[in-house]
Amino acid sequence: MKALVCGAGGFIGGHLVKRLKDDGYWVRGVDVKEPEFAETEADEFLLLDLREPDQCAEAVTVDGNFDHVYQLAADMGGMGFIHSAECEIMRNNAFINLSMVHAASQAGVGRYFFSSSVCIYRDMEVEEPELTEDDAYPAFPDNEYGWEKLYAERVAQAYSRNTGLKVRIARFQNCYGPQGTWRGGREKAPAAICRKVAEVPGQSGTIDVWGNGSAVRSYTYVSDMVDGIVRLTRSDVEGPVNIGSPEYVTVAELVATVAEVAGKDIEPRYIEGPVGVQSRNFSHARIESLGWRAEVSLRDGIARTYPWIDDQVREVSEPVP
Ligand code: NAD
């Protein structure tokens, strides 16, 4: 089996390459940049800009054909980035998604996986009943990143209807783990909180946290996300599928979990900032029908992630000898 992973230099793409290698695939990784934190495990890694149609055509050209194409390339980041880079996000991601699905269909690949996001859903009230995949409509995403994802889902589905391309679409909830962006403005909440706690000198201190701590989220450990991606791609399930942990916590609880894992006494100082939606609660019945379960609790996932971010913080703060 041959797989192409677009966005293989990034966080989830890098972990997906490793999983596919473990499963015995021949893997080509493609990204506009080299992997930042670890050597790629792909058999072949091409530096390509997937906004360009001819570079997408190059990405999908291989002896034989690709059985699976995983499209995870995106210009993306946490809430701070999503709110400050609306034009880049809408333009770059639309170009990538239009060009890649077209190239994949022209090449006649076996299956095309697209990484969408639960950002396509509207905001929710705390304790509101679960949204199913069909509740995406009438559409009212909270941000432009979500609107582009919804558009890209529809483009992929149109190619599926009109060209016979077999498309699988996952809507990811927040994903975290080692080798994810942890600084620079694109990091998401779990990595940002781990970094801030790691940066506190000694055993106690205060960290700034956007909002008032009451926003409800779920955070999915990267190995669970990757397992959902491969199960869905190999399945017969058509239409979008939510993938995420059913363990919902407040941002305040996330901070407390990181502090406990770090063994530090941390006081959050809540400040103005781009928080995003107030609450989340999604149905996972579709992905669970494929035997998928979130295996890693937030406490265990943070216990695997915090030491890696702590090491990164120390590496950049220690003077080079
Ligand atoms: P990431 O930023 O770590 O990886 C995305 C990769 O895409 C990066 O390595 C980037 O260089 C690459 N890329 C950007 N523009 C490109 C271009 N023009 N050509 C080629 N490569 C390009 O992000 P991630 O967290 O691994 O996310 C992977 C996918 O999952 C994205 O589509 C993202 O929107 C989606 N997603 C992620 C989350 C999450 O919590 N991480 C949640 C919902 C959806």
CB 220 within 8 A of CB 171: no
3-class DSSP assignment, residue 10: coil
Distance of CA 17 to CAs 27, 30, 49, 102, 145, Å? 7, 11, 19, 23, 25
- Predicted local distance difference test score (pLDDT) of residue 320: 58
- Model confidence pLDDT, tens digit, residues 75-95: 999 888 999 999 999 999 999
Q: For residue 28, name the pLDDT band (cuts at 50, 70, 90).
A: very high
Query: What is the distance, to the nearest Å, from the Cα of residue 66 to the centroid of all Cα atoms in its chain?
Result: 23
- Report the predicted TM-score, pTM, of the whole model to 2 decimal places: 0.97
In the chain, domain spans: 2-175+221-243, 177-217+247-281+296-315
Structure tokens at 147: 């609107």
How many CB atoms are closer than 10 A to CB 93?
21
Q: What is the CATH number of domain 177-217+247-281+296-315?
A: 3.90.25.10
Q: Tell me whether residue 219 is one of the annotated catalytic residues.
A: no
Would you state the CATH architecture of domain 2-175+221-243? 3-Layer(aba) Sandwich (3.40)
Strands 248-250 and 216-221: antiparallel
* Ligand 1 near 184 CB (within 6 A): no
Given a cut of 60, whether residue 321 has pLDDT beyond it is no
Active-site position among 25, 70, 112, 145: 145
Q: For residue 319, name the pLDDT band (cuts at 50, 70, 90).
A: low
Residue 319 CB partners (closer than 8 Å, separation 6+): none
**Best CA proximity match to 241, nearest among 290, 286, 288:** 286
Structure tokens at 188: 């998401």
- Model confidence pLDDT, tens digit, residues 172-231: 999 999 999 999 999 999 999 999 999 999 999 999 999 999 999 999 999 999 999 999
* Ligand 1 near 99 CB (within 6 A): no
Q: In which residue are the tokens 């943070």 written?
A: 302
Q: In which residue are the tokens 């940066």 written?
A: 199
**Best CA proximity match to 24, nearest among 6, 3, 7:** 3
Work out which ligand 1 atom sits closest to the CA atom of 36: 9
What's the CA gap between 289 and 306, in Å, rounded?
A: 32
Residues in the chain: 321
Q: State percent of the chain over pLDDT 90.
A: 96
Give mean pLDDT, residues 8-23.
98
- Predicted local distance difference test score (pLDDT) of residue 62: 98
